[in-house]
Structure 1
C-alpha cells in the first residue's frame, strides 16, 4: 500500500484549513480540564479574594517558577489583558515607550490604541542591542518593553550577559516584560527583575493550558501592581477563584506537567522539520523555541501574494515592527502544522519559492 505523501496530505486538508498565521496552541496538545475544574470548584470562598486579585493557591503555584521575588501579585483575564493593564499603569497618551523589536503585534497594537509613542530598539541574537537602546533612551521614554524569553516572532531569549548590560542602562526606568508562551517555553524563566527594582512582569498561561481559562499573572513592585489592580477594578471583568484555582491545579499537577513536556516535544519536532526543510531550500532560519519561524524574504508583499495563491496564509513580518524594518520577513506558525515530514517539505518548497520572489 502506497504511503500517503505530504502533497497528498496537503491536498486532502487544503492549505487554507491549516492556520500558519496566528500563534495558537494545538487543541490536541492541551491538557484535559475535568479534574482541574473540579478542584477549582472546591475552592473555599473568601470575601477578600476579589479584592486581593490572586488566590492563595494560584500564588503558591506560580511563585516557584517566577524569575524574581516580586513584591506584589495580581491576575488578569489573559496575558494580553495583563499587558494592556500594565501599559495603562505606566504610561499615558503622548508618552514615549521604547520597545525591543521585532515584537509581538499585541504589544504594538496595545500601545497604539493607548496613543503611546513607540521608539523601536533593534535586537540581535542575544536581545536588545545596547547602541540602539542608548539611542532610544535619548528620547526620554517612560518605560522599556521587551520579551525576555522566547520572543514572538524570533523565538529568541535574552542572554544573561545582555540582561546585565541592559540593567546598567535601564536603572531608574520602569520596565514592562511580556512572557507570551509562559510554561510552554523550553527556555528557563528570566527577567530584568533580578537586577532592577521597577520591573512589571506579565506571564500568559493560555498557550500552555488553553485559552478557556483566560489566565494571566502580573507581578512586580507593589506600587505598580496596585495600579494594575485598581485599573482592573474599574472594568466589569474579573477572574474568579474557580478559574484561578483551576489554573493552580494544572500548574501543580504532575500528569499535566508530563503532558506539557510532550507538547513541547511535539512543537519542537514540527518547528525543526520545517526549519530543516527550509534550510534544504537554502533559506536560512534559526530554530530556537516557540510556535513559529521567522523567515527572511526578498519582498514581503510578493511573498504573501505568492503563498496566498497557493492557499497558504502566513503573517506579514511588517506587523512585528513599529516602522518599516531594514530586512523583510514573514512569520510562519507551527502550532497547528500536522506532524508530517512530507507536508513540511512541501510547505518549505512553497515558502522558498515565495521568499525568492518567484511565483
Structure 2
C-alpha cells in the first residue's frame, strides 16, 4: 500500500482512509500495509499516530499484525464447507446423520403443542423452566456445576457468543486436529487463528510448553470426539489440567455433542478450569433440526452470553424449548438414552471386531464415527464407492494431521459390518494409481 491509499493527519483520518480503500477494492485481503515508520514518513506525521491508526483497524478486525509478516489486511472469511452430495445408489456413510429410528416420537398430539404455543408470552422467562430442569438433572449426573444455565440455538451459537465475549480478532484459539469443520469456519469468520493440537486414543494431546499460553481459548470434545471417537482419559485430563491451572484467563470450551448418549465418564468434571463453558446440543439424541443447545459454565461468562443474546434474537423459541424438554423427559423416563447409545456402540464395536479380523486396527472410542488413517484419501473413497459405500474424505476435517477417511454409522446395522469391514480392508490395500 502506498500513501495514495492512506492519507490524513490524525489516527482517525488515516484509519478511515484505509477503510475507504478496502471498500473501493484498492486494498485486497492479504495485502500488506506499510511499516509504521515508513507510512509516518510518507504522511509527515508522528509514528505513534500511524500506530494508533493501525490499532483502530486491528480492533475493528480489518487488519492483523503478525510479527515479521507485518500488518496485513485480513483474509476473506472461510466459507462453510459444502455438504457432501452422496451419489445416487451408494449407502451414505459420509454425511454423519443420526439414525432416525433411534430418535423419540412426539407424544401428546398437535393439541398439546398448540396449548404450549398459546401459553407463550413476552413476559415468560427466556429459558423455559422445564428444559432447565431436564438439563440440570443430567448435568448433576455428570458432576457439573449448573447454577447458571443458558439456552442457545445450537452448539455453534453458544461457542460463537463465548468467543466474541472473550477473544479479539487476531487471537489464537487451540482446536483438536482433526476437528469439526464448522468450528474452523467460525474461527476464520471471527478473524481468529486456529492452532491445531493432535488427538490420540486418550483424547486431546497435551501441547508443548507455551502453546496454550499464546492462545485466548481452547475448544475441545471431552468424549465421542468427531471424528475419532476418543474420550479424554482421567490421566490425560490431569496432565492437561496442570497447564490450565497456570492459565486462568484461557477460555476452555467443552463441546459435549454426544451428551446423554455417551457411556464414557466426563473426565474434565473432576477438575474444571477457572474459565470454562460446557455445551450440549440436543441434535444427536432428539434430531438435528431441533436447534437447541444448553450451556453451563463460569457464571460471569454465562451472563455475558445472555447479554449478547438479549441484544439479538433475545431468546430461543419457547416452543422449540418445550419440544426439547418434553422429548428429553420422554427419553429419560423410558431409558431410551441407554438404548440409543447402546445401539450406536454395538455398531461401532461390530465394525471394530470385523476390521480386526481383516488385520485393520481401530482406536477405541464411541460415537457415530470411525476414523481410519489411509495413504491416499481419494483412492480409498473411490474404491469404496465402486463397492457401493460413500465415506467422507478426511481432508475437510484435518488441519495438520495425516490423511484418513471418516465412516459414519448412522445408516448401518450390525449385520452390515462384516461386508463393510471386508470392503474397507480391500480399499485400504488397493494402491492409488497416478493419472497423467
> Which TM-score applies when normalising by structure 1?
0.84
Q: Match for residue 7 of structure 1?
A: none
Deviates more, 1:155-164 or 1:254-263: 254-263
Q: Match for residue 94 of structure 1?
A: 170
> 2: distance between equivalents of 1:217 and 1:37?
25
Q: Match for residue 137 of structure 1?
A: 212
> 2: distance between equivalents of 1:348 and 1:251?
34
Q: 1:74 to 1:15 in 2, by over 3 A?
A: same
- Conserved 8 A contact 1:79-1:205: no
Q: Match for residue 279 of structure 2?
A: 202
Q: 1:292 to 1:133 in 2, by over 3 A?
A: same
1:198, distance to aligned residue in structure 2 (A): 0.9
| DSSP-derived class of the 2:339 partner | helix
Q: 1:350 to 1:167 in 2, by over 3 A?
A: same
- Conserved 8 A contact 1:31-1:260: no
Find out whether 1:328 has 2:403 as its counterpart: yes
> 2: distance between equivalents of 1:42 and 1:15?
42
> 2: distance between equivalents of 1:163 and 1:280?
33
- Conserved 8 A contact 1:185-1:289: yes
RMSD between superposed Cα atoms in Å: 2.6
> 2: distance between equivalents of 1:205 and 1:284?
31
1:46, distance to aligned residue in structure 2 (A): 5.8
- Conserved 8 A contact 1:144-1:175: yes
> Which TM-score applies when normalising by structure 2?
0.70
Within 5 A, what are the aligned runs for 1:22-171?
Answer: 22-35=95-108, 42-43=115-116, 44-45=119-120, 47-49=122-124, 53-66=126-139, 67=142, 68-130=144-206, 132-138=207-213, 140-171=214-245
1:91, distance to aligned residue in structure 2 (A): 2.1
> 2: distance between equivalents of 1:144 and 1:263?
30
Q: 1:254 to 1:98 in 2, by over 3 A?
A: closer
> 2: distance between equivalents of 1:79 and 1:161?
27
**Number of matched pairs:** 338
Find out whether 1:270 has 2:347 as its counterpart: yes
Instruction: List gaps (5 residues or longer) in structure 2.
Output: 1-86
Instruction: List gaps (5 residues or longer) in structure 1.
Output: 1-13
Instruction: Select 1:222's aligned residue among 299, 314, 318.
Output: 299
